[in-house]
Structure 1
């Protein structure tokens, strides 16, 4: 079985049924985000095994937990770890360009 990861706006094609892609039998299609989340999960499981750290006894911090990749990891590990600690940065009322300007001027606000 072959796996093809597609980036950009191809998730729109896949989510709509991807009729043209179904003609390639034996091949599985995924978006880049899905494949990335799967690789992260697999790598974390293997790292815990290597270091003899059982997942069920672990606390997991996922930074960027509201994004596509982070939220997929949160869902995957939700019943596999002792404690799941999702983290996301709150939106700032200051536009990014103004924040950058303030930081360059030595002001850490925004």
Structure 2
């Protein structure tokens, strides 16, 4: 239909806690695997093309959908941090962890 479903990619603003893999999907298209598919492509781009060693993903602790996507992609909870006045959970993955996760299935 040509409608925007969402977006995914890398984000690293000045002062940001690291290179972030991020995604957002239009609510009426949740639970269709789109965020996981887009996140997987962004991980591959970050590690294979951009040659990043580590990535983060930032979300609120109650964002169960994004936490599920992050863990499916192999990211693990690292810490909670205050960012721009809010409390956020930070999930991380290294290139080696991603390779092992990718090789496992």
Q: Report the TM-score range of the alignment, normalised by the length of the smaller protein.
A: 0.3 to 0.5
- TM-score (normalised: structure 2): 0.34
Answer 1 or 2: which has greater strand percent: 2
Larger radius of gyration: 1
